[in-house]
Structure 1
Amino acid sequence: MSETKEHIIDKSYELFLSHSYEAVSISDISKAIGMTKGALYHHFLNKEELFKAVVDKHLILPTVACNLDQVSLKELFDYNIRCIRELLDSYLSYSNLFTPLNFVSLFGDASRHYKGFIEKTERYVKDEEKKIVTVLENAIKRGEIRSDINVAITAYTIISLYVGLVGNLIVNSQDVDKSFSLLRSQILEFYKMLKKST
């Protein structure tokens, strides 16, 4: 991708992050990047195509990327919490316009204005669920956790706990440290319930 195109995407990201999709016009984008509308249209056909490029580059969802056959459930929890924290920290350091609520709004805008985004997100959730199911099944075989759980529901519950970080951020006035502390406590409490009693 050309440097100019990257610059357009990054500046547009800041606009879409601080305002809604509907509120940002092509005129706003061309002013922000110091380019005529004609020059902007040379790189992107329309606002929708530009928005899709912004979402594809900046709306990154964390993914399990460890050895699923060897990792324990506890290690997976620790790994995921660390990855989510690093991702959120990278968002916060990227732009001073970033707030967790702005990110949620951008996600909502993507759901409404990016054709196929909801299906893409559903595939992402299903893929992550499958990975967690693998880890849970191995954790049962190893005796790390109880065997009387519904593995599919437990995997979905784990994903729901991670998604609950958004709620933590809202309740805790977007305090990232406090919200992560709460997420870690929730995950550890859930893990204790899954642990095989000795």
Structure 2
Amino acid sequence: MTTKERITEEAFKLFLNNNYEKVSISDIEAAVGKTRGAIFYFFKNKEEIFIEVIDTYLIKTQDPSEKFKVEDDTSLKQFINLYINGVNTTMSKMLSISVVNIYKQYFSLYLQASKIYPNFSEIMTQNSIEEVNLWEKVIARAIKNKEIKAVDTKHYATLFRSCFLGLAFDRCLLYGLNTEELYTIYLTIYNQIKLKS
């Protein structure tokens, strides 16, 4: 891990546990074990550090092109597995940081970013639209390939995405998203629209 990555990770932990305003450069110095000069070699100020944290841990991790590598012949069933694996990978990365109740803190950081990070809401909305579009594309291909019944692709794409968001939000205050539960829900939806072979 480079010094810049270490600063970003330690700042991420601090911003997860405290509001942006409460985190000082002194706190970051202590967490990283580096002087202010060493930190400012990579970042101009606290806001720039915060922006790097949001880029690294929120925007990139929620970018569908980063999370899912979908081939032209990926079936809906395969995509469901890819999706769950992508969520598990992201969650494992977050849990490795060892923050108490990271799920609750992650949502709190998300709200802070919406106030501080320039165009954050627009960027995350675009990520969400791209993810729904990806679901829609996979569902349309599944219809064409006679994997599933003819369904409204937009509605089902939104349904799959909303199941993830709803469970993630609902469980964040307690123990976090259970991907086995999400997978079971996805398979239930899939089996209801799957064409019998």
TM-score by length of 2: 0.85
For the Cα contact (< 8 Å) 1:99–1:174, is it kept in 2?
A: no
**More displaced stretch, 53-62 vs 136-145:** 53-62
For the Cα contact (< 8 Å) 1:64–1:128, is it kept in 2?
A: no
> 2:130 aligned with 1:131, yes or no?
no
**More displaced stretch, 19-28 vs 75-84:** 19-28
| Alpha-carbon shift at residue 138 of structure 1 (Å) | 1.0
CA 1:159–1:86 in 2, change beyond 3 Å: closer, same or farther?
same
For the Cα contact (< 8 Å) 2:146–2:195, is it kept in 1?
A: yes
Deviating 4+ runs (over 3 angstroms): 34-42
For the Cα contact (< 8 Å) 1:12–1:54, is it kept in 2?
A: yes
CA 1:175–1:51 in 2, change beyond 3 Å: closer, same or farther?
closer
- 2:70 matched to which residue of 1? 66
User: Could you tell me which amino acid in structure 2 is paired with residue 91 of structure 1?
Assistant: M
- 2:51 matched to which residue of 1? 52
Residue deviations 1:31-72, cap 9 Å, x none?
3233444553343222111101011122212532121x2111
1:131-170 equivalent positions in 2, closer than 5 A: 131-147=134-150, 149-170=151-172
TM-score by length of 1: 0.85
For the Cα contact (< 8 Å) 1:91–1:98, is it kept in 2?
A: no
CA 1:83–1:39 in 2, change beyond 3 Å: closer, same or farther?
closer
Query: Matched residues, percent identical?
Result: 31
| Alpha-carbon shift at residue 197 of structure 1 (Å) | 5.3
- 1:106 matched to which residue of 2? 109
Residue deviations 1:125-146, cap 9 Å, x none?
1222222211111111111111
For the Cα contact (< 8 Å) 1:30–1:40, is it kept in 2?
A: yes
> 2:2 aligned with 1:3, yes or no?
yes
CA 1:94–1:70 in 2, change beyond 3 Å: closer, same or farther?
same
Separation (CA, whole Å) in 2 of partners of 1:195 and 1:166: 26
For the Cα contact (< 8 Å) 2:168–2:176, is it kept in 1?
A: no
- 1:84 matched to which residue of 2? 87
Separation (CA, whole Å) in 1 of partners of 2:5 and 2:85: 28
User: Could you tell me which amino acid in structure 2 is paired with residue 151 of structure 1?
Assistant: T
CA 1:80–1:19 in 2, change beyond 3 Å: closer, same or farther?
same
For the Cα contact (< 8 Å) 2:114–2:120, is it kept in 1?
A: yes
| Alpha-carbon shift at residue 7 of structure 1 (Å) | 2.3
> 2:117 aligned with 1:118, yes or no?
no
Aligned residues: 192
Separation (CA, whole Å) in 1 of partners of 2:172 and 2:29: 33
For the Cα contact (< 8 Å) 2:13–2:97, is it kept in 1?
A: no
Alignment RMSD: 2.3
- 1:174 matched to which residue of 2? 175
Separation (CA, whole Å) in 2 of partners of 1:157 and 1:3: 40
